[in-house]
């Protein structure tokens, strides 16, 4: 088993993580009018009545699908993954996803297959086994924007254990960082291994830990989670953050305590590329910015206060656990939109 080079030692730390150069371990492998920002509760992925149906009906084609090969069945949990991964093909109809237009070109077909692979409940299907599914699997993890965001990937393979949340990979010279947990599959693990493996697994909060144990075992990576969100299934994480932070991971990554959705929610700020990985703290839905009020597990008021903290950070991108990514033109636009939301 190959592992990444562990360049940062988190065995002990205070509010500032030690520099990787000091802790080298053994080698192993203006506001745009297009933004709508009402605070609308998120319809987060939950078990639908159909999901518990063991009969044939649950896996049948929903009548809302367009005629053709791709379709969504009745087990869809409305997690929105397919709709932002392949908006040319999928839409929301009747509280679930459906195919509104069959892919007509190679690129659209690839995106539809990537959405099929990433669907946490295997609710996207085809009438005929796709001969190109293996080629689609090889595209994961997917570069988000090779020009603007080099070395940042969407892992795909969303897990039902984390309600279909996204997981990300940062390729970093001091050790790669896996943000939240995708569904564990050896196929994805081998692809990540080719990119240098995983040195740290940063868990934004307790909802999206999914197969963290399997990933930790596969790469011998240190897991990081705030102590306020530690539960029985994460009691063995290697690093538990205490207090209000912020904490630093090396010289260019800052961990920002943003309680509200959960007590221990923490965002990761990757300063060189001005990206904020927000977990369930803040996201963009089809309806606008959202703080997932319906599924708040701690305090809505505290969460709104934590959103205001973000006004002090210079970032242009939000990479959420659920929903769509956001790119701001500049810090002025970002702050104007956040101020309007709060």
Q: Where are the domains of the chain?
A: 60-136, 142-341
Helix boundaries (H) for the chain: 81-85, 106-118, 133-137, 186-194, 212-219, 300-309, 331-341
Question: Hey, what CATH class is 60-136 in?
Answer: alpha beta
Contacts of residue 194, Cβ cutoff 8 Å, sequence gap at least 6? none
Residues 20, 4: Cα–Cα separation, whole Å? 14
Residues 247, 241: Cα–Cα separation, whole Å? 8
Six-digit token string for 245: 């932070």
% of the chain residues with pLDDT over 70: 84
Cβ–Cβ under 8 Å, residues 86 and 113:
no
Residues 326, 334: Cα–Cα separation, whole Å? 10
Full strand arrangement of the beta sheet holding 200-202:
142-145, 149-154, 168-170, 177-179, 200-202, 222-226, 239-241
Residues 140, 238: Cα–Cα separation, whole Å? 27
pLDDT for 58: 86
Cβ–Cβ under 8 Å, residues 244 and 257:
yes
Question: Hey, what CATH class is 142-341 in?
Answer: alpha beta
- The residues of the chain scoring below 70 in pLDDT are 1-55
**Strand, helix or coil for residue 118:** helix
User: In terms of Cα–Cα distance, which of 113, 89, 302, 279 is closest to 203?
Assistant: 279
pLDDT for 57: 80
Contacts of residue 285, Cβ cutoff 8 Å, sequence gap at least 6? 40, 42, 80, 323, 324
pLDDT for 55: 54
Report pTM: 0.84
pLDDT for 188: 98
Residues 327, 330: Cα–Cα separation, whole Å? 9
Burial 283-300 (b: 16+ CB within 10 A, else e): bbbeeebbbbeebbbbee
Residues 256, 315: Cα–Cα separation, whole Å? 13
The per-residue DSSP string of 212-267 comes to HHHHHHHHTPEEEEEGGG--GGGTT-SEEE-SS--EEETTTEEEEE--SSSTT-EE
Give ∠ CA 36-256-154 in degrees, rounded to 5. Answer: 65
Cβ–Cβ under 8 Å, residues 95 and 101:
no
> What is the greatest pairwise CA distance in the chain?
60
pLDDT for 160: 96
Cβ–Cβ under 8 Å, residues 119 and 81:
yes
Report strand pairing: 177-179 vs 124-126: unpaired
pLDDT for 171: 98
């Amino acid at each position: 088993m190959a592992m990444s080079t562990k360049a940062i030692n988190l065995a002990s730390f205070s509010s500032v993580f030690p520099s990787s150069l000091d802790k080298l371990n053994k080698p192993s492998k203006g506001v745009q009018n297009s933004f709508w920002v009402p605070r609308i509760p998120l319809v987060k992925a939950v078990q639908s009545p159909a999901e518990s149906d063991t009969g044939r009906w649950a896996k049948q084609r929903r009548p809302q699908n367009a005629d053709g090969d791709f379709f969504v069945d009745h087990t869809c949990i409305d997690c929105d993954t397919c709709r932002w991964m392949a908006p040319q093909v999928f839409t929301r109809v009747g509280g679930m996803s459906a195919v509104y237009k069959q892919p007509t070109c190679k690129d659209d077909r690839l995106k539809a297959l990537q959405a099929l692979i990433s669907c946490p409940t295997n609710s996207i299907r085809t009438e005929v086994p796709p001969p190109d599914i293996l080629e689609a699997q090889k595209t994961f993890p997917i570069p988000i924007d090779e020009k603007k965001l080099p070395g940042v990937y969407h892992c795909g393979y969303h897990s039902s254990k984390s309600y279909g949340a996204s997981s990300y990979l940062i390729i970093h010279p001091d050790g790669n960082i896996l943000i939240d947990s995708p569904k564990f599959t050896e196929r994805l693990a081998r692809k990540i291994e080719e990119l240098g493996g995983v040195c740290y697994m940063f868990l934004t909060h307790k909802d999206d830990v999914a197969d963290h144990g399997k990933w930790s075992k596969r790469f011998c990576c240190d897991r990081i989670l705030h102590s306020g969100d530690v539960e029985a299934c994460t009691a063995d994480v290697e690093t538990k953050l205490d207090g209000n932070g912020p904490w630093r991971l090396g010289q260019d990554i800052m961990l920002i305590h943003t309680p509200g959705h959960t007590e221990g929610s923490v965002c990761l700020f990757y300063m060189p590329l001005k990206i904020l990985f927000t977990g369930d703290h803040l996201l963009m839905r089809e309806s606008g910015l959202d703080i997932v009020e319906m599924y708040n597990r701690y305090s809505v008021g505290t969460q709104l206060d934590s959103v205001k903290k973000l006004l002090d950070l210079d970032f242009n991108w939000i990479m959420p656990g659920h929903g769509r990514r956001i790119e701001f033109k500049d810090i002025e636009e970002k702050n104007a939109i956040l101020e309007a939301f709060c």
